[in-house]
Amino acid sequence: MPRVVLVTGCTTGGIGFVLCEEFALQGCKVYASSRNVATIADFKHPNIDKIAIDVTNDDSVQNGIEHIVQAEGHLDVVVNNAGVITAGPLIDQPLDAVKHVFDTNTFAILRVARAVIPVMAARRNGVIVNIGSIVGEVATPWNGVYCASKAAVLSLSEVLWIECKPFNISVVHVAPGAIKSNFSANGANHFTLPPNTLYSNFLPNILQRIHASQGSNRMPTEAFAKEVVSKTLRPNPPRYMTIGGHSRLFSLFKWLPRSWVLLRLWQFYSKKL
């Protein structure tokens, strides 16, 4: 019986889209979701269905998961990949934008967990994969809302890992570094500084930060997907993994004095370009 997989946030050009292809290549039946399925291009593999799920809406999440379970009889793997970014100085962020980031990146994981854990617990089997970020563990300037949302994802992953033990459900936290995707480009397209900002002199640095994950050391999306899918489908998936550009550096940062690390990051993202 093939495993049934749901991946959220599968817009063309992103990590989720390629994860779907890789799960299908490994023999899984895959459901690729997005708020609007028109944003998902056609897949090469025939064993992937598109489904509209708005991860910021309780009913949409519940209905989407119920549809999959009714169609397949079970749901084995869920990848919480949907995410958005709002770049710039923290005090310049409109609160509505901050709430949207947390609703999509963080609260959505709880919505999905509430809907899918009872399904998995009934069969005493399942894997939940939460896509976090290395900046959820070591924050950087000019992207504070995203950093905070992904720091919360790490905490949620760890608590879910503990609380899902009685039901034989594995929870995997993935902290990607620099991975090739359209994520930064989407963030740049929607970025502006307010007229009254205190940080106008730092505009080049903010743009540098927005595009940092798409530098020469970025990991190909296909390589990222192969590693994540391979480890997710193991009999005993890991609790945590971090891969991609800068991931080793940020792993080192976690062991160094935090003030020193934060100052080095500030120096790097405040220097004249």
Check: pTM over 0.85? Answer yes or no: yes
Instruction: Calculate mean pLDDT across residues 98-107.
Output: 98
Q: Which residue's entry shows tokens 């902290």?
A: 175
Q: Which of 104, 126, 96 is nearest to 53 (CA)?
A: 104
Range name among 15-19, 157-161, 210-214 with the lowest pLDDT average? 210-214
Range name among 153-162, 216-225, 229-238 with the lowest pLDDT average? 216-225
Q: Which residues are catalytic?
A: 146
The answer for residues whose C-beta is within 8 angstroms of residue 175's C-beta and 6 or more apart is 132, 133, 134, 136, 137, 154, 240, 241, 242, 247
48 and 30 in contact (C-beta within 8 Å)? yes
pLDDT tier for residue 184 given thresholds of 50, 70 and 90: low
* pLDDT at residue 188 is higher than 80: no
Could you read off the pLDDT of 192-207 as tens digits, one per residue?
A: 899 999 999 999 999 9
Domains of the chain: 4-270 (3.40.50.720)
pLDDT tier for residue 182 given thresholds of 50, 70 and 90: confident
Could you read off the pLDDT of 108-128 as tens digits, one per residue?
A: 999 999 999 999 999 999 999
Instruction: Calculate mean pLDDT across residues 33-57.
Output: 96
